[in-house]
Amino acid sequence: MYHLAKGLYLYATSKEEYSVLLLGLDNAGKTTFHSQIRSLYDPSAPAIKTKTVPTVGQNVSTITLPDMYLKIWDVGGQHSLRKLWQSYYTSCHAIVFIIDSTDIGDGVLPSSSNLNANVSGSERSERLEECRLVLEDVLKHSETEGVPLLVLANKQDREDCVEVVRIKEGLVKKVFEGERGGGIRDSRVLPVSALTGTGVREAVEWLQTRVRWNREGRPPVMR
């Protein structure tokens, strides 16, 4: 009887917790996005900083939503740190891939048949190419298969940004065309400014619905 009562109590008081992994090249805005989420959903969180330092290791925080906890994992995007990302893949429920929309040239990759052609960096942005390779690498890991993917075209507050439609058509769609089983992955591309907060709530809301939809594939942790 005690165990039944305890079980019922735990069931009634516990909430689902989902982990969200923030990925993207160095300087993309992951830590700023993370801080912005905290300041929007946690009244006691410190104000968002305009100056950040490159992340070495990880920043983790849990935000409390009415129906779930979202645990946000912000990891370093510098080249030498990217090999650490894979250790987070099995336990994450969603991936947010953040792109600096001001650091990808014109944002348009050549057509898929020419993706691997030997085109020099001056003809297409090296950072755009780096972004493609890194995103492809994330998607090709079997541990990320089926995990909802949100791509954020960040820094949309800046005048020199590439607009989201261009990033969607010119980069993300082309990466997906080449991805194994890309068609069955739940994904979305959204414009945001992590700095000003524009689009950040919409991003969190998308994540909330998608981790729920995928709860059979990746069950939450009960807390």
**Chain positions contacting ligand GTP, by CB under 6 A:** 24, 26-32, 50, 52, 54-55, 76-78, 154-155, 157-158, 193-195
* CA–CA separation, 217 and 215 (whole Å): 5
Cβ count within 10 A of residue 67: 8
* CA–CA separation, 133 and 103 (whole Å): 15
Binding mask 35-74 for Mg ion (x = CB under 5 A): --------------------x-------------------
Q: Which of 16, 20, 25, 31 binds Mg ion (CB under 5 A)?
A: 31
For 120, the token pair is 């020099």
Helices of type H across 95-179: 126-140, 164-167, 173-177
* CA–CA separation, 151 and 112 (whole Å): 19
155 binds, among ligand GTP, Mg ion, none (CB under 5 to 8 A by kind): ligand GTP
C-beta closer to ligand GTP: residue 34 or 124: 34
Annotated binding residue 116 = no
C-beta closer to ligand GTP: residue 54 or 217: 54
C-beta closer to ligand GTP: residue 32 or 208: 32
Asked if 154 and 99 count as a contact pair (C-beta separation under 8 A), the reply is: yes
Instruction: Tell me which residues touch Mg ion (CB under 5 A).
Output: 30-31, 55
Residue ranges of the binding site for Mg(2+): 31, 55
